[in-house]
Structure 1
């Protein structure tokens, strides 16, 4: 038993030594990543696996944020990296960004919602008459539209399914939900 405990202590000491070397080389012990709640987290699986191949000792901590429109988790020091942030970083912040791809937004309504019965293309005037549901500090499709703001994309999709409102959703998130659940009332 003493021999077994000794091996365990040696193993822990080696791990600490490796961590110290990595830290000296500029690698962090942990990275805090803020992810927009509408971002399809499943798409991160390949990059996470590749990261852990190179840096198996760095811990990744993901937090879901209702909306990354304002880059607040990064500017407030709550995150080291943002994923799914919309727009450019705050001016003079020193932050940079790389696009992950193009964001395709879809107007989504349930089959029982009044907008689903419109045959002609929808005008802004028509959209304005109906409530929108949005996540976080995002907002209405139109600035003067009545909006119900919810804490995350799951809540938004739940209310959309019920037909309470229409909303703009990331296309990839909608496609995942359409295959996973029925949109009927």
Structure 2
């Protein structure tokens, strides 16, 4: 094991390239630093320092140890920071679950602001759908959820706020039979055609489905992107977020790539 003093010595030697300058950098007596260097060689049973020249040279084994020691110093610094943060109420890591409906692009400015805090807290962001979002929070698979739909179920110590509302529109492909219907489209007409929905990711319940008429056949897909692709290819009909209908239209027309 390397002590913090050993790591500091190796880092000083790496930065200065000289035992004498390392002594000045550390503010210790030359005999103390020389003794520590010999102790390291004895501990590893390897020649770490080439003392045949005026300027201290590291052997290949010494280069390896110094480089690894620099990495360890960074790890120790990060660990020290995180321990202090956790002791002061910070999370050791932050696991965020978003509804699949929420595009990742909307999170990028928030992540940038979080990074500016230089907290060192690692982030993990995953996605669920509908009830699966609340389920992740209740089961401890999330510290924070963003974009969950509807009011939350009973969860102890839960605090929540409404972020906004999303407008939905009923959409069909120009190639779908409903696009050729004359006059207003009724619920009965919609029920005759397959609905495309994003599958609820709940692991405990059957989940929920929105915008489906009674008796209507359903194709459940894994994501909103898959739902848009399915509807653009006339595999079914359904409701889409208004702000994404333009992307879907361009995809149908072949004038843009949907990502």
Q: TM-score range by the shorter chain?
A: 0.7 to 0.9
Greater RCO (Cα-Cα under 8 Å, separation 6 or more): 1
Q: Distance in 2 between matches of 1:13 and 1:37?
A: 37
Greater share of strand:
1
- The two structures, once aligned, show a CA RMSD in angstroms of 2.2
Q: Distance in 2 between matches of 1:92 and 1:162?
A: 40
Q: Does 1:109 align with 2:172?
A: yes
Which residue pairs with 1:141 in the alignment? Answer: 211
Q: List alignment gaps of at least 5 residues for structure 1.
A: none
Instruction: Pick closer, same or farther for the CA change 1:41–1:8 going to 2, 3 Å.
Output: closer
Contact 2:191 2:213 in 1 (8 A): no
Contact 1:131 1:166 in 2 (8 A): yes
Instruction: Pick closer, same or farther for the CA change 1:183–1:100 going to 2, 3 Å.
Output: farther
Which residue pairs with 1:172 in the alignment? Answer: 243
Give matches, 1:56-135, under 5 Å: 56-65=119-128, 67-69=129-131, 71-91=134-154, 93-135=156-198
Q: Distance in 1 between matches of 2:113 and 2:79?
A: 23
Q: Distance in 1 between matches of 2:171 and 2:150?
A: 22
Post-superposition offset of 1:77: 1.3
Post-superposition offset of 1:183: 4.6
Instruction: Pick closer, same or farther for the CA change 1:40–1:173 going to 2, 3 Å.
Output: farther
Which residue pairs with 1:158 in the alignment? Answer: 229
Bigger radius of gyration among the two:
2
3-state SS, counterpart of residue 44 of structure 1 = helix
Instruction: Pick closer, same or farther for the CA change 1:8–1:48 going to 2, 3 Å.
Output: same
Task: Give deviations 1:77-129, integer Å, cap 9, x for gaps.
Answer: 11111122101111354322222221111212111112222353333222222
3-state SS, counterpart of residue 182 of structure 1 = helix
Q: List alignment gaps of at least 5 residues for structure 2.
A: 1-62, 201-207, 255-259
Contact 2:91 2:121 in 1 (8 A): yes
Q: Distance in 2 between matches of 1:146 and 1:79?
A: 33
How many residues are aligned here?
182
The structure 2 residue matched to 1:29, chosen from 80, 92, 97, is: 92
Q: Distance in 1 between matches of 2:96 and 2:155?
A: 22
